[in-house]
Amino acid sequence: MILENLRASREDLDLKQKDIAEFFHLHYSTISGWETGKDTIPIERLIQYANEFSLSLDYLFGIISKNEKYSPIHLDLLELANNLTELRLQNKRTQDYVAKKLNTSQSAYSHYETASNIIPTSFVYGLTKIYKPFSIDELFGRKKIVS
């Protein structure tokens, strides 16, 4: 899985992979792997990146073409779980349906809706294929900043 605008956002900020690697205290090859899709950026790191550089998750995932300003994400597993459940129910889907689309088991998926585990980045990406339209920023409880 590749985040469509991860590299573009870094370049727009006039940062090198080395700069992002230093920010995360990682080797630059890890950043390269995230940008090429060889590796998947953990959702916690993606949120940290989005917060630090005022980037929309919807923009980073390629749902929208222009970055929008949002308040920082304060990761709250319970709020995320509630939002996942609400999104699924609004779309009249079962956990089993969503799990199958994400290529996981219903019991594994249920852990995300009960706040037992944080949903992986690849599954968040998978949700963009199941639910349209939908905002990843809003899923994580982020509020738009109105200018």
In the chain, the domains with their CATH numbers are 6-60 (1.10.260.40), 77-139 (1.10.260.40)
- Measured between alpha carbons, how far is 119 from 110 in angstroms, rounded to an integer? 10
Q: Say whether pLDDT at 21 is over 90.
A: yes
Long-range pairs, 135-139, Cβ under 8 A, ≥24: 135/58, 135/63, 136/57, 136/58, 136/61, 136/63, 137/56, 137/57, 137/58, 137/68, 137/70, 137/73, 138/83, 139/80, 139/83, 139/84, 139/87
Pick the residue with more confidence: 2 or 120?
Answer: 120
Q: What is the pLDDT of residues 50-94, one digit of tens each?
A: 999 999 999 999 999 898 888 999 999 999 999 999 999 999 999
Q: What is the pLDDT of residue 52?
A: 94
Q: What is the pLDDT of residue 2?
A: 67
CA dist list (Å): 37 to 7, 9, 42, 102: 11, 15, 12, 18
Give every CB contact of residue 77 below 8 A, 6+ residues apart in sequence. Answer: 115, 118
| pTM (whole model) above 0.85 | yes
Supply the mean pLDDT for the chain: 93
Q: What is the pLDDT of residue 72?
A: 93
| pLDDT (average), residues 24-37 | 94
Angle, helices 28-36/17-24, rounded to nearest 10 degrees: 110
Ramachandran region, residue 94 (left: φ > 0; alpha: ψ -120 to 50; beta: rest): beta
Q: Say whether pLDDT at 112 is over 80.
A: yes
Q: What is the pLDDT of residue 1?
A: 53
